[in-house]
Amino acid sequence: ARCHPATAYRKRKHVFRLGLSDGKEFLFQAKDEADMALWLRAIEAAAGATLGPGGPREGSGVPGGPPKGMSRAL
Protein backbone atom coordinates (compact mmCIF):
# COMPACT_ATOMS: atom_id res chain seq x y z
CA ALA A 1 0.00 0.00 0.00
CA ARG A 2 1.03 3.59 -0.63
CA CYS A 3 -0.38 6.57 1.23
CA HIS A 4 0.29 10.25 0.56
CA PRO A 5 -1.46 13.64 0.54
CA ALA A 6 -3.60 14.20 -2.57
CA THR A 7 -2.07 17.58 -3.43
CA ALA A 8 -3.68 17.67 -6.90
CA TYR A 9 -7.17 17.16 -5.44
CA ARG A 10 -8.72 20.63 -5.11
CA LYS A 11 -12.38 19.92 -4.24
CA ARG A 12 -11.73 19.41 -0.51
CA LYS A 13 -9.01 20.15 2.02
CA HIS A 14 -6.95 17.61 3.97
CA VAL A 15 -7.41 14.76 1.49
CA PHE A 16 -5.00 11.85 1.20
CA ARG A 17 -4.80 8.99 -1.25
CA LEU A 18 -4.41 5.32 -0.38
CA GLY A 19 -3.18 3.13 -3.22
CA LEU A 20 -3.30 -0.65 -2.89
CA SER A 21 -1.01 -3.17 -4.53
CA ASP A 22 -3.90 -4.42 -6.70
CA GLY A 23 -4.19 -0.96 -8.32
CA LYS A 24 -7.24 0.30 -6.41
CA GLU A 25 -7.06 3.84 -5.02
CA PHE A 26 -9.14 5.51 -2.34
CA LEU A 27 -9.41 9.13 -1.21
CA PHE A 28 -9.91 9.99 2.46
CA GLN A 29 -10.57 13.35 4.08
CA ALA A 30 -9.25 14.24 7.53
CA LYS A 31 -10.65 16.99 9.75
CA ASP A 32 -7.42 19.03 9.64
CA GLU A 33 -3.72 18.87 8.70
CA ALA A 34 -2.66 17.32 12.02
CA ASP A 35 -5.32 14.61 11.80
CA MET A 36 -4.23 13.81 8.25
CA ALA A 37 -0.61 13.46 9.39
CA LEU A 38 -1.70 11.03 12.14
CA TRP A 39 -3.67 8.93 9.65
CA LEU A 40 -0.79 8.88 7.16
CA ARG A 41 1.67 7.69 9.82
CA ALA A 42 -0.75 5.05 11.12
CA ILE A 43 -1.52 3.70 7.64
CA GLU A 44 2.15 3.63 6.66
CA ALA A 45 2.98 1.77 9.89
CA ALA A 46 0.16 -0.72 9.28
CA ALA A 47 1.22 -1.25 5.67
CA GLY A 48 4.77 -1.95 6.84
CA ALA A 49 3.49 -4.38 9.48
CA THR A 50 1.62 -6.64 7.06
CA LEU A 51 2.93 -9.95 5.88
CA GLY A 52 1.08 -10.59 2.64
CA PRO A 53 -2.55 -11.74 2.66
CA GLY A 54 -2.42 -12.70 6.35
CA GLY A 55 -2.81 -9.10 7.46
CA PRO A 56 -1.03 -7.38 10.34
CA ARG A 57 1.48 -9.33 12.38
CA GLU A 58 0.38 -10.33 15.83
CA GLY A 59 1.38 -7.63 18.30
CA SER A 60 1.91 -5.02 15.57
CA GLY A 61 -0.38 -2.56 17.38
CA VAL A 62 -2.79 -2.26 14.45
CA PRO A 63 -6.28 -2.37 16.01
CA GLY A 64 -9.60 -2.74 14.20
CA GLY A 65 -10.32 1.00 14.45
CA PRO A 66 -8.37 4.24 14.20
CA PRO A 67 -5.34 4.74 16.46
CA LYS A 68 -5.93 6.27 19.89
CA GLY A 69 -6.74 9.96 19.72
CA MET A 70 -7.90 9.89 16.10
CA SER A 71 -11.42 10.71 15.02
CA ARG A 72 -13.71 8.28 13.22
CA ALA A 73 -15.05 11.16 11.12
CA LEU A 74 -13.36 9.80 8.04
Q: Note the pLDDT tens digit of each residue in 14-38.
A: 999 999 889 999 999 999 999 999 9
Looking at the whole model, is its pTM more than 0.75? no
Domain-by-domain residue ranges, the chain? 2-50
CATH number 2.30.29.30 is the correct assignment for the domain at 2-50: yes
| pLDDT of 33 | 94
Residue 48 binned pLDDT confidence (cut-offs 50, 70, 90): confident
Strands 25-29 and 15-19: antiparallel
Amino acid occupying residue 72: R
* CA–CA dist 59, 19 (Å, integer): 24
